[in-house]
Structure formats: C-alpha cells, structure tokens
Amino acid sequence: MNEVIEAEVLIIGCGIAGAAAALEAAKKGRKILIVTKHPQPTESNTFYAQGGIVSLGQDDDPELLKRDIIETGDGINNPTAVQILVEEGKKLVDHILIEELQVPFSRSSPDELDYAQEAGHSRRRILHVKDATGRTIEERFLQTLQQFKNVTLLPNHTAVDLLTIPHHSKDPIAHYREPECIGAYVLDNATKKVKMVLAPATILATGGCGRVFLYTSNPENSIGDGYAMASRAGARLVNMEYIQFHPTSLFHRDVDGFLISETLRGEGARLTTKDGQLFMHKYSEKAELAPRDEVTRAIYEEMINTNSNYVYLDLASYTQVDIPKRFPTIYKTCLQYGIDITREPIPVVPAAHYCCGGVLVDDWGRTTLKNLFAVGEVSCTGVHGANRLASTSLLEGLVWGTRASRYINEHFPGKLPYQPSEIHEWYYPHVQESIDPALIHQDWLTIRSTMWNYAGIIRTKKRLERAQADLSYLAHRIQKFYREAEMDPKIVGLKHGIQVAMLITAAALNNPLSRGAHYIRNSSF
Ligand code: SIN
C-alpha cells in the first residue's frame, strides 16, 4: 500500500514562484505541502540568481518596461501577460519582498535603493542584494514559510508523475469525465518508496531545464521535470524552442556552470577576444548591452574565428565600481580558482540559461489541464516571447506564484472529491534491476552533448533532425531501463530529461523561423 498524503495545495518546487504561491495560500490558512528534490529546500534556480529583480527605477514607468520586454522578446510576447507584469510587479516587490520579507536590497544611499543596469533595459531598474539577490530572497522566503504551521516541507522527494483522472482512476466510467490533475506520485529519495500525494490544486514550480545541455548556468537539478510531467499528463506546452543562452559563464576546468552576471556589463565590463581585441561593436550598436542572444552569438562567432574555447570579460579595466564590494560572490569565487577580477579579465563562455517557453498558462497560472497550475520558469505566460529580458524571471515567478494562489484561495474547495482507494497505486515491477551508474552517466552525456551540438546556440535543420533521431533511439532504451529498474531519483531524472530534450528538439524542428533565442542558420529549412 502506498503512503498517502493529503493536502489542499500541492506545490512541486520551491524557488521564488513556488515559495510566493505557498506564502499567499498559507496566509489564508490553506494546508500546503511543498515537495522539493534536494535535501536542502533552498536549492533552486532562484538561489543562484545573481543579477536581481526588475522593479521601476527613477524616471521610469511601466510603459517603458513593457517596451523593453517586447523588444527583447522579438514582438511575440503575450501583451496581456506583459501588462500584468509591469502593472503588478513593482507593487509585489514593495509589498512582499521589501515590507513582508524585509529583503535587504542594496542601497546607493541610506534613503535610496540602488538600481542596476542590464542589457536590453532602457533604464537602471534592477534591484539587487549585491550579487546574491536570489539567494537572499530564497532564504527569506523559506524562513518566513517555516513559521506557518499549515505549511509542510517535504525535501529530498522527487516528483515522478502527476496523478490524473481518468488515467490513474480505477473507475472505467471516469474516462467520460473532463481530465483533471489530483496530485502527484512522489519518490522518497531515501527509502526509494513512492508516495501518493492527493490535492485539489497542484502547482508546478519546478524551474527550468538548462541541465539538458552540456554547458549551462543552471544547478544540477534543473533537468525540466515539470515540463516532462505536464506533457505526459496532457497539458499543453508552447515555445519550447526558445532556449536562452547566457553569454557569460566562467570558463574554468574545475567549475561547472558558474554565472558571471550581466550586471558586470551593466557596470562597464567589455568583451574581448583571447588576444584582447574588443569585438561587440562589430555586432550591435548597443555593444556589450545588446540583448543576450545577440551577445551570445557574437561570442560564439568570435570563438570560432579565433579558434578559442573562450573569450574574456574585462571588468577591471573599464569599471568605476568597487569590485569586491559590488560583486562579492563573483569576486570570491573567481579568486578561489586563481582569477583576480580586480586585476585581470575573466575567461567566459556562453551557457544554456533559461527556457522562455513551457507549460502554457493563463493570467492566473492555470494550465490547460484542470486543477493544474504552473508558475515560474516551468510555465509559459508569454511574458518573455522569443527571448527573455534580463532579471524579469524572478519578477514573473513572484507575480504568477502570488496570482495562482489568489485564484486557488478564491475558487478551490479544501477537499478532494476522490478517495485514495479509487486511485491506482504505484506499480513496482516484480524483478527490479539495480541501477548501473555508468549507464546513467553515459545516457546523460549523450543527451547533453546532442542538445549542445545539434539544438544549441546555432541550429540547422540537419542538426535538429540528427538530434531527433539520436534522442528517440535513446528514449526507447531509457524507457525500457526505467520499467525494469528499481525506483531511484537518478532514473526518474533521466526519464524526465530525455523527454524534455525531445520536446525542445521537436519544437525547434517545427519552427523554421529564426527568431530571438531560436536561431536557425541561413534559412536551412
Ligand atoms: C544575470 O545576472 O546575468 C542573470 C540575470 C537573468 O538571467 O535574469
């Protein structure tokens, strides 16, 4: 018999979007269960966000921000969603982050907040806590949530699949009902047992999928679980081809995906080739402050032209700021690897950073599957269009996390109309093979290098077709492996990962139009 947990709201993932949803529902006394994969619940994409969160700066207004978002998004943003973000964003930053959580945003004077600059923004409008903005926000959220008795955190548990009616119902008549989500199967990573979580409302807040690429700024867990589960459950996904590559992650043999924030360029840092030649002026009038996709492709091009694995980002020669004070995390981390950024340039390479598409949601975070919500990077509100404007993701998570729970607070009953006995239990095969780590390792390497080389920064039809063929062959093997193996977070992750890689590749192949973060070389279609 599976262990059954009942909640009023199940939230899978606890970055800013999941945490904001939890806080809003917790304040109304809802019984909330938050499931996180990592033993440490703060571990999320949010934790690693350095740059900041968009607010409105001086001589700024919502219309200007809207224009910047849509210009960067190449015009295919959802206008209603952008309007919601620019109208509600600053209010929620002030109310939740500054007043309730008391996030200590950096100040330019005791009375004034400091606003940073990033590419694509026509004003300085990014609030930050030095260069550890996401980490500070995440820690404050978790401290606050832990004070609510109606919030239960279930760390070290991996969501395996969404529970849906009719699919998981024992009642054959259920097939005639509208499909709906009623919770999820979650794997206890320690005991390897699957639990059934039943909830009238489920919120996916699982973050992004950068780890399906060989090089990424995302942490280890960002393998796109939410996209895979939502897709299997029948929810609609859109815009998965728009994978944003961050131009600058640290290039170093011993470092895996450490971001060098765009705010360094906002404070004057310039890009040079290995031989110290500036090059961004050749690609854009905005030079280092051009939108990320343009900077990324320029770097990629220069790396090829100069036969180099990296370019340099030179902050020391160009900035006016006190580097260790303004960028303490980046300064200390680079120093740890022998690079003193107050004196020398930083070797950088582009890395997969953000998925602009995802599970399609409406103004309230509702997906196309009844009772399933998605918030944050896993969702697609349409705010980002074909390319995300820097530092808008934390804001989108805050706004839609809050909105989803406002909707749930108002419209959802506390009780589920199903008994656990009506739902199929998790099935364990009779013979369960133990996991061979070498197989998992090699399968991930294949997924990641295939995605990087064939579905990465510059795509062609041939490359994408090759990716699709190779991935679908691998998907069959992984499916068989999954059916026969003992339950383990590693095999669950692999199953999610291959599916996400295939979703991205299929979306890219279905869209012959080069736009924003989906770049096709010379109309190769
Ligand atoms: C950065 O600090 O460069 C990342 C900000 C973002 O991706 O929004």
Other C-beta atoms lying within 10 Å of the C-beta of residue 483: 12
Please report the pLDDT score of residue 522 as a whole number.
74
Q: What is the pLDDT of residues 387-424, one digit of tens each?
A: 999 999 999 999 999 999 999 999 998 888 888 899 99
Please report the pLDDT score of residue 435 as a whole number.
86
Please report the pLDDT score of residue 523 as a whole number.
66
Q: How far apart are the first and last CA of the chain?
A: 52
Confidence class for position 303, pLDDT limits 50, 70, 90: very high
Domain-located, residue 271:
yes
In CATH, what number is assigned to the domain containing residue 259? Answer: 3.90.700.10
Closest atom of ligand 1 relative to the 393 alpha carbon:
8
Contact 355, 244 (CB under 8 A): yes
3-class SS at 459?
strand
Q: What is the pLDDT of residues 318-342, one digit of tens each?
A: 999 999 999 999 999 999 999 999 9
Last residue of one domain, picked from the residues 289, 318, 350: 350
Q: Is the CB of 391 inside a 6 Å radius of any atom of ligand 1?
A: yes
Domain-located, residue 122:
no
The two beta strands, 3-6 and 194-198, are parallel
Domain-located, residue 457:
yes
Confidence class for position 483, pLDDT limits 50, 70, 90: confident
Q: What is the pLDDT of residues 283-297, one digit of tens each?
A: 999 999 998 889 999
User: What residues contact residue 63 under an 8 Å CB cut-off, 6+ apart?
Assistant: 86
Domain-located, residue 369:
no
Mean of the per-residue pLDDT values for the chain?
95
Q: Of residues 292, 297, 388, 459, which has the active-site annotation?
A: 292
Average pLDDT value for residue range 256-274: 95
Q: Is the CB of 296 inside a 6 Å radius of any atom of ligand 1?
A: no
Last residue of one domain, picked from the residues 350, 371, 395: 350
**Residue 64 confidence (pLDDT) above 70:** yes
Domain-located, residue 410:
no
Q: The whole model's pTM is what?
A: 0.96
In CATH, what number is assigned to the domain containing residue 443? Answer: 1.20.58.100
Say how many domains are in the chain. 2
Expressed in angstroms and rounded, the spacing between residue 148 Cα and the centre of ligand 1 is 31
Domain-located, residue 207:
no
Last residue of one domain, picked from the residues 335, 350, 365: 350
Q: Is the CB of 516 inside a 6 Å radius of any atom of ligand 1?
A: no
Domain-located, residue 67:
no
Expressed in angstroms and rounded, the spacing between residue 258 Cα and the centre of ligand 1 is 12
Q: What is the pLDDT of residues 76-121, one digit of tens each?
A: 999 999 999 999 999 999 999 999 999 999 999 999 999 999 999 9
Domain ranges, residue 490? 437-509
Distance CA 505, CA 211 (A): 15
User: What residues contact residue 184 under an 8 Å CB cut-off, 6+ apart?
Assistant: 10, 12, 35, 159, 160, 161, 162, 163, 197, 202, 229
pLDDT over 70, % of the chain: 99
Please report the pLDDT score of residue 519 as a whole number.
95
Domain-located, residue 210:
no
Average pLDDT value for residue range 382-389: 97
Confidence class for position 484, pLDDT limits 50, 70, 90: confident
Expressed in angstroms and rounded, the spacing between residue 436 Cα and the centre of ligand 1 is 37
